[in-house]
């Protein structure tokens, strides 16, 4: 008898955690592309391929963050009913500065802006507005260096929770000033945040599929706020392309992965985009007693200055060319 895989059968969170029951007549959601990817619901992957008993064991340690993240999903969904629809689709520099300052006061490390490609909206999902403010927050370096450990596992869930709180607060901040917003939390998001973040110029995907940023390498958690503000400072280029070349000559994350889940040669997904890891293999070390996080722990960009690595790489490349 063929095994039933929940991660293959269930592709959405419960309906009340999505925007669908809270939509109003004035809302005109943006649908995913017909060839967009399905999301991966991590708890279901753990049930199918991982160590469920270990996850229950540490529920007392991360339960408040997990439950808080689910509450954040609900708030991001139902709060779309608070959008003012005043027709304000341009933001002045001073107000944008105030938004960014407010976000950074909450713990945001970097902010980027992009028009969302419908291919990055998960299959059969919708977002309310076409433009994204993408936010990163840092995962504590010392805690990640302890991975795999309980403290690093807690840090993962702390950042999931806190960036969800942040985007809901930023969305409220915008609404109070007459702008429309839809918060996209880290847990249960409607969009694949890494390619959207790449479009903002915040970073580039590493060999492990994670976003490599200038400030914190892959030690970041991502979330977004969608809005119909039309004059955001959208990125016109991405200056981090060299990182992909670095990753091809590095491969530390491939070597350190205990499950051989990271592909030495990045594969091509049926939609034409990249596939970096085998999530069915990743689920087991991820779900062990103290989690995994080794591909973040050992990544040079999380431990060494971005500029130092770039200078060293350019020097090495120049010598090789000559």
Tens digit of each residue's pLDDT (9 = 90 or more) over 114-141: 999 999 999 999 999 999 999 999 999 9
Report the DSSP beta bridge partners of residue 274. Answer: 268
pTM, 2 dp = 0.95
Give me the percent of the chain exceeding a pLDDT of 90.
80
User: 42-49 vs 279-286: helix axis angle to the nearest 10?
Assistant: 90
Identify the residue with better confidence: 50 or 258.
258
In the predicted model, what is the mean pLDDT of the chain?
Answer: 93
Q: Report which secondary-structure segment, H or E, holds 86.
A: none
* Contact (CB, 8 A) for 128 and 225: no
Mean pLDDT confidence for 207-220? 97
Least confident of 2-6, 93-97, 187-191, 257-261: 2-6
Q: Confidence class of residue 49 from pLDDT cuts 50, 70 and 90?
A: confident
Q: What is the pLDDT of residues 55-90, one digit of tens each?
A: 788 888 999 999 999 999 999 999 999 999 999 999
Residue 50's pLDDT is: 82
Whether the predicted pLDDT of 1 surpasses 60 = no
What is the helix, strand, coil percentage profile of the chain, to 5? 45, 15, 40
Residue 168: the pLDDT is: 98
What mean pLDDT is predicted for residues 82-104?
98
pLDDT of residue 2: 58
Q: Can you read off the two tokens belonging to residue 141? A: 């370096």
- Within 13 Å and on the Cβ side, how many CA atoms surround 54? 18
- Residue 2 CA, chain-centre distance (Å), reads 33
Answer whether residue 7 shows pLDDT above 70.
Answer: yes
Integer-rounded Cα radius of gyration of the chain = 20
Average pLDDT over residues 145-168: 96
pLDDT at residue 321, rounded to an integer: 66
Integer Cα distance of 289 and 244 in angstroms:
32
Band of the pLDDT at 322, cuts 50, 70, 90? low
Distance CA 15, CA 231 (A): 33
Judge contact between 80 and 167, C-beta under 8 A: no
């Amino acid at each position: 008898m063929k095994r039933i895989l929940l991660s293959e059968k269930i592709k959405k969170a419960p309906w009340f955690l999505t925007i669908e029951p809270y939509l109003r007549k004035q809302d005109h959601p943006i649908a995913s592309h017909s060839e967009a990817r399905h999301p991966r619901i991590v708890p279901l992957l753990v049930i199918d391929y991982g160590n469920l008993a270990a996850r229950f064991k540490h529920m007392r340690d991360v339960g408040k963050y997990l439950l808080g993240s689910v509450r954040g999903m609900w708030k991001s969904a139902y709060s779309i009913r608070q959008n003012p629809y005043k027709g304000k689709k341009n933001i002045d520099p001073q107000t944008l500065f105030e938004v960014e300052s407010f976000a950074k006061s909450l713990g945001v490390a970097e902010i980027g802006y992009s028009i969302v490609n419908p291919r990055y909206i998960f299959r059969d999902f919708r977002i309310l507005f076409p433009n994204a403010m993408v936010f990163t927050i840092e995962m504590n370096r010392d805690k990640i260096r302890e991975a795999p450990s309980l403290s690093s596992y807690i840090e993962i869930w702390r950042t999931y929770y806190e960036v969800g709180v942040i985007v809901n607060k930023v969305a409220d901040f915008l609404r109070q000033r007459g702008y429309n917003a839809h918060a996209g939390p880290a847990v249960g998001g409607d969009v694949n945040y890494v390619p959207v973040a790449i479009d903002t110029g915040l970073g580039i995907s590493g060999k492990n599929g994670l976003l490599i940023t200038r400030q914190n390498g892959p030690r970041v958690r991502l979330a977004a706020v969608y809005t119909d503000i039309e004059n955001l400072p959208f990125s016109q280029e991405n200056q981090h392309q060299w990182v992909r070349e670095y990753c091809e000559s590095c491969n530390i994350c491939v070597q350190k992965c205990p499950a051989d889940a990271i592909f030495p040669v990045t594969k091509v997904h049926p939609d034409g985009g990249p596939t970096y890891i085998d999530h069915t293999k990743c689920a087991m070390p991820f779900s062990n007693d103290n989690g995994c996080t080794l591909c973040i722990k050992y990544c040079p960009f999380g431990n060494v200055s971005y500029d130092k690595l770039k200078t060293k790489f350019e020097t090495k490349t120049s010598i090789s060319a000559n």
